[in-house]
Amino acid sequence: MNELKHRGSVGGFLVGAVYALVCGYIFTLGEKYSLAFVEFVSMAMLIATPVSVGVITVFFATKDQANNRRYRIYAPWLSIIGWSLISLLFALETLICVLMLLPICLPLSSLGGFIGGVVRRHYCDKTNQGVASCFALLPFLVIPLEMPIETPTIQKSVTNTVIINADKDVVWGTIPNIKNIKPEELTWNISHSIGLPKPLSARTPSLAVGGIRDLEWEKGVNFQEVISEIKVEELLAYDVLVDQESMKIAELDTHIVVGDKYFDVLSGFYSLDTVDGQTSLTLSTTYRMTTNLNWYGEWLADFVLDDFHSAVLTLIKHRVEGANS
């Protein structure tokens, strides 16, 4: 009897974790083989699946657990985290991917736990496999509803500014070539701590419109910036050319590569202004996003770019002010 009770106590989130793992694998395969109707970056996978995980977790719990509010809220989290850990262990997902999914999957799984608790309490005295199966099919029922929706595209710019205690000509002279960047020169930020590569160097052989600025990051990531506009000591604007192969080799994300159908970095600029005898240096980046979850992806992209901009601007500030001290 105690053994059965123990099995019931963990059965809910174990079944939920296995279900999430199976769904993730199916949607990943669909993406791998270019099945337009089965995509990981979709409402079916990232909205319906965690809700179903929550429902299933509660349906396979004991009756006492299903009636417990905290269990309904937090046990589905164990299912999602269990799926994440297994995916990391077998290299099905990257750490960056998992950490970007958790903020949306955890609360949605709690929503599913709440729904599962209500349904089970009012319509099922104990586990009902038929009802659980219906919820298990929910992500796949969402697919035909999502397919006719035209995937929206957004373009957005993220802009950050730093004040540097130096003249504009000194700051301007530093921007084109930022070589041999050492790890200790970059301030700690969340983006780099979860695995996004750090910049190593930026080289501009020809500072002219049409000139190429070569950038190198960790993990073999390389890309180029084609200079589109120059105003000496005022503006350096560029279009971004991403090397998709280096992005894939870096294994930043299992499902999204910069420059693919979901996300791309398009252009950017540095601008300089004089403020109270100091230089105001601004860095801006424009990106394109095309998903049915732009409202969530936009938040992530803004956060990462804001974080990255701060690191780059602080690096330039320290180099310029250090050289002048």
Write the burial class of residue 58 (CB in 10 Å: 0-12 exposed, 13-18 middle, 19+ buried). buried
pLDDT tens for each residue of 266-286: 999 999 999 999 999 999 999
The band of 1, judged by pLDDT with boundaries at 50, 70 and 90, is: very low
Looking at residue 325, its pLDDT comes to 57
Q: Which CATH architecture has domain 155-324?
A: 2-Layer Sandwich (3.30)
Mean pLDDT, rounded, for 115-124: 84
Looking at residue 154, its pLDDT comes to 97
d(CA 40, CA 46): 7
E-strand ranges in 141-276 read 153-164, 199-203, 212-217, 222-231, 235-242, 263-275
The band of 102, judged by pLDDT with boundaries at 50, 70 and 90, is: very high
Nearest one of 135, 121, 101 to 16, comparing CA atoms? 135
pLDDT tens for each residue of 149-174: 999 999 999 999 999 999 999 999 99
The band of 259, judged by pLDDT with boundaries at 50, 70 and 90, is: confident
What stretch of H or E contains 283?
A: strand 278-290
The band of 130, judged by pLDDT with boundaries at 50, 70 and 90, is: confident
d(CA 175, CA 38): 44
Mean pLDDT, rounded, for 238-265: 81
Looking at residue 126, its pLDDT comes to 56
Contact by Cβ (8 Å): 270, 282: yes
Full-model pTM: 0.89
pLDDT tens for each residue of 173-214: 999 999 999 988 988 888 888 888 899 999 999 999 999 999
What stretch of H or E contains 73?
A: helix 69-89
The band of 63, judged by pLDDT with boundaries at 50, 70 and 90, is: confident
- Of the listed ranges 10-14, 26-30, 110-114, the least confidently predicted one is 10-14
Mean pLDDT, rounded, for 73-90: 95
Q: Which amino acid is at 237?
A: A
57 pLDDT more than 70 = yes
Looking at residue 108, its pLDDT comes to 98
Question: What 8-state DSSP symbol labels residue 60?
Answer: T
CATH 3.30.530.20 in the chain: give the residue spans.
155-324
Write out the two tokens for 149.
């929706």
145 pLDDT more than 90 = yes
pLDDT tens for each residue of 285-323: 999 999 999 999 999 999 999 999 999 999 999 999 987
The band of 33, judged by pLDDT with boundaries at 50, 70 and 90, is: confident
What long-range pairs does 81-88 form, CB within 8 A, spacing at least 24?
82/13, 82/14, 82/16, 82/17, 82/20, 83/17, 83/20, 83/21, 83/24, 83/53, 86/17, 86/21, 87/21, 87/24
Pick 81 or 8 by higher pLDDT.
81
